Amino acid sequence: MPSQENGLFIGNFKANSVEAKEWLRAFRSVLPEVPQEAQVVVCPSYPELSDWRKAIVTAGLPILLGSQDLSLFPPGAYTGEVPAIMLKRYNVTAVIIGHSERRSKLGETDEQLAQKAVRALEAGFRVIYCVADTSVRVPSGVSVVAYEPPGSIGSGKPDTPENADEVIRLIKKQTGVQVGLYGGSVKPDNVAAFLREPAIDGVLVGGASLTGDSFASIVKNGS
Ligand code: PGA
């Protein structure tokens, strides 16, 4: 793996409830110490951020909190929205923007996503910007790009490590972004093959991040 980032592991819980204490207990049972070079980020749903923040502090594990989304608006009359400043109160340090499910199921456009990236960057978040292929425009200031082919998300059919490496290499070349992740059916038994590729610096994990032992196995096998 390249020197820029040595293993960035992001768990995206999506709209699933994940009990923080139980998850952290299971994580620790597989991985008592997070390897020094690994960075672990979990992204619970909004209502569970508070529990997660407290449970991580109590557990004393070096796990960071991320958000699955944020509002493109500032605080104010925007019913149902969660602006960046509110996320900061929960110690959120990173935000996923442009996940394929938000593009396809909620109709988010490149323009809206670019505005979200501006909001996130203004708030000092690390932006994890998701793209389906090399044709997607990546807003400036984004530091992490996650290549997630839609057909591989939740399907049990990951891309090949060689193709993912080639796509991520091209995206880095086109955008100047230095950290590239692969996402789509990453599991404990295939993570090492992705992270062995030179352009892949980490993984974005959905289903296999929902239990602490499975996600810890991913961090262990990928580090
Ligand atoms: P998956 O999801 O790991 O369940 O395929 C990945 C993602 O949606 O980021």
SS3 41: strand
Q: What is the mean pLDDT of residues 30-48?
A: 96
Q: Give the nearest ligand 1 atom to 12 CA.
A: 9
Handedness of CA 73, 76, 77, 82 (dihedral sign): positive
pLDDT number for residue 80 = 96
Regarding the beta carbon of 148 and ligand 1, being less than 6 Å apart is answered yes
pLDDT number for residue 1 = 37
Beta strands in the chain (DSSP E): 8-12, 39-43, 63-67, 92-97, 126-131, 144-147, 179-183, 202-205
What's the 38 CA to ligand 1 centre distance in angstroms?
A: 20
State pLDDT tens for residues 152-189.
999 999 999 999 999 999 999 999 999 999 999 999 99
Closest C-alpha to ligand 1, atom 2: 206
What's the 188 CA to ligand 1 centre distance in angstroms?
A: 13
C-beta of residue 111 within 8 angstroms of C-beta of residue 146: no
State pLDDT tens for residues 99-148.
999 999 999 999 999 999 999 999 999 999 999 999 999 999 999 999 99
pLDDT number for residue 5 = 58
Residue 88 has pLDDT above 90, yes or no: yes
Q: Which one, of 98, 99, 100, 67, lies nearest residue 84 by Cα?
A: 67
Residue 33 has pLDDT above 50, yes or no: yes
pLDDT number for residue 40 = 98
State pLDDT tens for residues 7-22.
999 999 999 999 999 9
